[in-house]
Structures are given as structure tokens and as C-alpha cells.
């Protein structure tokens, strides 16, 4: 193989802003840089997103909600409203179970 065959040269490809946004989103889901995603897709590969990357925002949001529920449960317990705190703790347990299934 000649040394010229190993040199990678940049090529110009033009995308509209909307098209590039789609590429960036899809590349992010696959854990790839946009240029790598375009190159692999153009050469026939079908990049697939990883489950963890796809659900990470959902897990993050569920974690935030769970933290808010925990804080609310603690405040209710301090006020002596144990029945309400118990219901919230149960909901928190359900959220944690869903997060464990997603991860």
C-alpha cells in the first residue's frame, strides 16, 4: 500500500442546517462524531445507538423527580404526615424500579 493511500483527505459535503441537525442528533445517539457517522453511513454501515445513550436523558429526569419526591417525603415526615410520606416513598420506589430497568 502506498503512503498516499493511507492519507485521509477532507472532502466537501454540503448540508442544510436542518439536515445537519438530524445528523448531529443521530450521531449522538450512536456515540459517534457527526463526521464519523456520515462516513460510516455513506459507506453502507448502519450505526446503531446504544440503549444507555438513548435513555440517559430519561434516567436523568427520573432521577430528578425521584430526588424531589424524597425531599417532599422527608418534609411530610417532619410534619407528622406519615401516611402521605409513605405514599410518596412508595412512588419513589416505583420510579427507582423503572430506572433500574432502563439502565
Phi-psi category of 31—alpha, beta or left, where left has phi over 0 and alpha has psi -120 to 50?
A: left
One DSSP character per residue, 48-62 reads ---HHHHHHHHHHHH
pLDDT at 101 over 70: yes
One DSSP character per residue, 12-37 reads -----HHHHHHHHHHHHHHT--HHHH
- Give the model's pLDDT for residue 100: 75
**Do residues 60 and 89 lie in contact, with contact meaning Cβ atoms separated by under 8 Å?**
no
pLDDT at 88 over 90: no
- Give the model's pLDDT for residue 6: 81
Amino acid at each position: 500500500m502506498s503512503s498516499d493511500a493511507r492519507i485521509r483527505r477532507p472532502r466537501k459535503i454540503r448540508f442544510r442546517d436542518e439536515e445537519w441537525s438530524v445528523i448531529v442528533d443521530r450521531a449522538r445517539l450512536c456515540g459517534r462524531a457527526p463526521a464519523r457517522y456520515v462516513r460510516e453511513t455513506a459507506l453502507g454501515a448502519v450505526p446503531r445507538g446504544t440503549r444507555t445513550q438513548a435513555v440517559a436523558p430519561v434516567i436523568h429526569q427520573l432521577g430528578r423527580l425521584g430526588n424531589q419526591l424524597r425531599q417532599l417525603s422527608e418534609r411530610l415526615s417532619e410534619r407528622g404526615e406519615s401516611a402521605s410520606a409513605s405514599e410518596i416513598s412508595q412512588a419513589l420506589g416505583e420510579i427507582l424500579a423503572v430506572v433500574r430497568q432502563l439502565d
